[in-house]
Homo-oligomer: A and B are copies of this chain.
Amino acid sequence: MSLSDTKAATTRTALTRHRERARTDRADLHAVLDAGLVGHIGLIRDGAPVVLPTGYGRVDDTVYVHGSTGAGWLRIADGAPVCLTVTHVDGIVYARSVFNHSMNYRSAVVHGSARLVTDPAEKLAALRAITEQLSPGSWEHAREPDRRELAATAVFAVDLGEASVKVRTGPPGDDEPDIATGGRWAGVLPVRTVFGIPETCPTLPSDAPVPAHVGDRRPA
């Protein structure tokens, strides 16, 4: 099911399987996107799909991706169809049967047209959102992009109007005969993303204080 509050379900956002896993609130979509570090963007190149990992950022109901103007994949035509998907793996679901093994996860799939961002203010706001998604606090702490860097960076916008969210939580869904048979363990192994100890750049003194936006950062 697509986001019912933004647009009626279209063929590509209507889930064909496990409709009970669909989430229809815009807040759910925002939450899945906002918790991610990396998304996967799909493009069509020479008649074939290409899927590449990318950073991204969100401003209201628009997601932005960016890259060097020299990057092959960013030579997207203005208006070309793209798909941006963000997935969080939350657990591995062990069932009594191989068939019912699964994953607990949250995923957002955004379908849309890539719009090249040319307005300077929107471009700067997009770069800020992308930076803050990857590294909250960096926009204030680090040096902002200069004219040369802005010119070397292409930014594309994708509207969130056509998007779907799918979430699986909870224990395995084993068949009754397998439960009755017994003798096999079933359950969930939780999966989490954690941060390690910050590694200060070798060009700085090793005892350079780590700022709070890095040292105190916790996964979203």
Residues of A within 8 A of B (CB): 11-12, 15-17, 37-38, 40-53, 55, 67-68, 70-72, 81-85, 87, 89, 91-92, 94-99, 101, 103, 105, 107, 109, 111, 127, 131, 134-135, 138-139, 141-146, 149, 153, 171-172, 174, 178-179, 181, 184-204, 208-211, 214, 217
Contacts and interface: CB of A to CB of B under 8 A. Distances in A.
A104 B174 CA distance: 39
Contact of A101 (B135, B195, B208): B135
Given A185-B214, A201-B187, A11 B46 contact: yes
Main secondary structure on chain A at its contact with chain B?
Answer: mixed
Contact of A210 (B71, B135, B153, B185): B185
Given A94-B214, A186-B204, 13 more contacts: A17-B67, A17-B72, A38-B103, A40-B85, A42-B50, A48-B83, A95-B142, A98-B138, A98-B142, A101-B135, A141-B185, A189-B217, A191-B193
A96 B134 contact: no
A203 B190 contact: no
A66 to B, nearest CB: 10
B171 A96 contact: no
